[in-house]
Amino acid sequence: MNIKAVFDQLLAWREKYVKEKHFILILSFLIGILTAFAANLLKMTIHFIQKTLTEQIDAAHDNWLYLIYPVIGILLAGLFVKYIVKDDIGHGVTKILYAISQRKSRIKPHNTWTSLAASSITIGFGGSVGAEAPIVLTGSAIGSNLGRLFKMEQKTLMLLVGCGAAGAIAGIFKAPIAGLLFTIEVLMLDLTTASVLPLLITSVTAASVTYIYTGPEAMFKFSQTEAFVLGRIPYVLLLGVVCGLIALYFTRATIWIEGIFRKLKTYWKKFFFGAAMLSILIFLLPPLYGEGYETISKLISKQYGDLLNDSLFYGLPNGYWKIIIFLVLIIFLKVFATSATNGGGGCGGIFAPSLYLGCIVGFAFSYSINHLHFLFPDNSFLPEENFALMGMAGMMAAVMHSPLTAVFLIAELTGGFDLFLPLMIVTISAYFTIMLFEKHSIYSFRLAQKGELLTHHKDKAVLTLLNVDSVIESDLKIVHPEMSLGDMVKAIAQSRRNVFPVTDEKNILRGVVLLDNIRNIMFRPELYDRFKVKKFMISPPAKINIHLPMEKIMQLFDDTKAWNLPVIDDDGRYLGFVSKSKIFNAYREVLVENFSDEG
């Protein structure tokens, strides 16, 4: 008996004896274990590569290696993706959003391991990116493919993809609540009573496995030495505004730099441009090396004295302005280092860079106010480590449009639960600031531009899941401009529709004939040879391109007040018709299939 036959028997037994909702809970538990294993494997591999490369370096003579290692890392990762994976695995969270919106929650099997391998190499060698987006894609791929293995329906696949993402965040950060909230806010999944429990099981399981493996300590050691004072709320609100504006800069600059790399058509041009940019930036600002968690640990523990070591600022006279200028340069150049790493061939996300930037923004903000006594003379002392944490929350909330995730992630990452109030204040302030300028997160921006983004708005979400191919009707009787009225009447007799597309010899759509428009002449045989179709055909009120998103198609129907519109390809060739009634029927089917709360 082969493996397939045994598995088929297992499926049959499961369908007979295990209820669907119970089996989903079993799968969510299994996904939690697998995602925690993948998260810890990723962290262990990164740390192993980092230790192997750096433990023998003589800090006095071999610093140049820190300029070479990241270049080697993005080269190896790029060649791995180009010649072994042969698929784009960048923009991990965007890939998940695309899979949910356009691929019926199906993620390719290779994504269960390829992002993990490529990001390990990239970050282990010092690439200036984070490991979180790749592990989230890995976790979601685990959920998607496990669901497909057990023949789960699309609605359940979407839930399992969310479970994989939640487990990945919970597993890599030991933050189960943040994992659950990430799925809601960033992946934009609507929660129902049936979906909360699987997400919780996956998150708690993944975090528990990581606790068993790494111990109970928080990822960043933080001890609050001073209670939060309500009089500092204006400063917290101001920090949120600053974080929102920096996040806007980070988002827009990332999209702009990605556009520059896209214009470099060949792989090697992208590599050399990215490698040169990254090496120069690390030479000028050594803290840009790696994902930056070491810098975060130093700032929240007030051990930042050696941050300027080996930089161009080292050896300059000590002073407030030296540190501030150094940190401001990091804030504005980090986006270039991150984009150069990914654009040059590396694989990583902006999760860690946003935390890194937020920590520096919060620290620089409080450090500046503490030294500007002439501007803030009364009670101006702000705990710099506390504001560094608040900056992390504010930046993450603004970049990812996820204020709740940011609050709980920072609290769980550091154990700083006593700062809940200021964390909430700063995230709300930062979130509303960026929403004034940018309504989409850095993850969803690309899909939103194409109309391919699934959102919490149910009407728009259902329309996003529909496409023209699913509602197009191609059985209408086609007529041609030179046909006589007599031939037109014969075509009408053979058709059950009251609209007829008119095409030329190249199948280009030239117009339409509406039965109502010729009803007064179609019963007059003496006119059959006198009139041709081109005399009484009309232009359709609008034409639908086959690639147009369904939301824009519905807008066309609303604008034209039409009930039927023709569909054409990019060259104007006729493909079929779409009716508003057909869209409504498909809408109801998708709504019941994907968003009902039955079971």
The model carries a pTM of 0.76
The answer to whether 129 and 89 are in contact (CB under 8 A) is: no
- Whether 423 and 528 map to the same domain: the answer is no
User: Does residue 2 fall inside a structural domain?
Assistant: no
Q: H-helix or E-strand containing 181?
A: helix 176-185
User: Does residue 351 fall inside a structural domain?
Assistant: yes
- Whether 421 and 532 map to the same domain: the answer is no
- Whether 415 and 550 map to the same domain: the answer is no
Structure tokens at 102: 């356009």
Last residue of a domain, one of 430, 453, 476: 453
Report the side by side order of strands in the sheet with 564-568.
Answer: 544-545, 564-568, 574-579
User: Does residue 221 fall inside a structural domain?
Assistant: no
User: Does residue 6 fall inside a structural domain?
Assistant: no
User: Does residue 413 fall inside a structural domain?
Assistant: yes
User: Does residue 38 fall inside a structural domain?
Assistant: yes
Give the total number of structural domains in the chain. 3
Q: What CATH number has the domain bearing residue 567?
A: 3.10.580.10
- Whether 447 and 558 map to the same domain: the answer is no
Q: What is the DSSP string of 115-169?
A: HHHHHHHHHHTT-SSBSHHHHHHHHHHHHHHHHHHTT--HHHHHHHHHHHHHHHH
Q: Tens digit of pLDDT per residue, the chain (599 long)? A: 577 777 778 777 777 778 888 888 999 999 999 999 999 999 999 999 988 888 776 655 557 777 899 999 999 999 999 999 988 887 778 788 777 766 677 888 999 999 999 999 999 999 999 888 899 999 999 999 998 888 888 778 888 999 999 999 999 999 999 999 998 888 766 666 677 899 999 999 999 999 998 887 777 777 666 667 777 889 999 999 999 999 999 999 999 998 899 898 889 999 999 999 999 998 888 888 888 888 888 888 777 767 776 666 665 666 667 788 888 999 999 999 999 999 999 998 888 899 999 999 999 999 888 887 655 555 557 888 889 999 999 999 999 999 999 999 998 888 777 788 899 999 999 999 999 998 888 877 766 665 555 544 444 555 555 566 677 888 788 888 888 888 888 888 888 788 889 998 888 888 888 887 787 788 788 887 888 888 888 888 888 888 787 777 777 877 887 878 888 888 888 888 888 777 766 666 665 555 444 43
- Whether 52 and 174 map to the same domain: the answer is yes
Last residue of a domain, one of 431, 453, 475: 453
User: Does residue 12 fall inside a structural domain?
Assistant: no
| Region of residue 245 (left: phi > 0; alpha: psi -120 to 50; beta: else) | alpha
**CA 293/CA 285 separation, integer angstroms:** 15
Last residue of a domain, one of 420, 453, 486: 453
Output the CA–CA distances (angstroms, integers) from residue 589 to 216, 467, 552, 585, in the order listed.
47, 13, 20, 6
- Whether 255 and 331 map to the same domain: the answer is yes
Q: What CATH number has the domain bearing residue 103?
A: 1.10.3080.10
- Whether 48 and 187 map to the same domain: the answer is yes
- Whether 413 and 483 map to the same domain: the answer is no
Angle at 357 between CA 352 and CA 363, to 5 degrees: 130
- Give the chain's end-to-end CA distance (angstroms, integer): 36
**CA 162/CA 153 separation, integer angstroms:** 14
- Whether 517 and 577 map to the same domain: the answer is yes
- Whether 449 and 500 map to the same domain: the answer is no
- Whether 201 and 294 map to the same domain: the answer is no
**CA 198/CA 473 separation, integer angstroms:** 39
User: Does residue 116 fall inside a structural domain?
Assistant: yes
Query: How do 564-568 and 544-545 pair as beta strands?
Result: parallel
- Whether 442 and 471 map to the same domain: the answer is no
The answer to whether 464 and 444 are in contact (CB under 8 A) is: no
The domain of 110 spans: 17-214
Find residue 503's DSSP bridge partners: 509
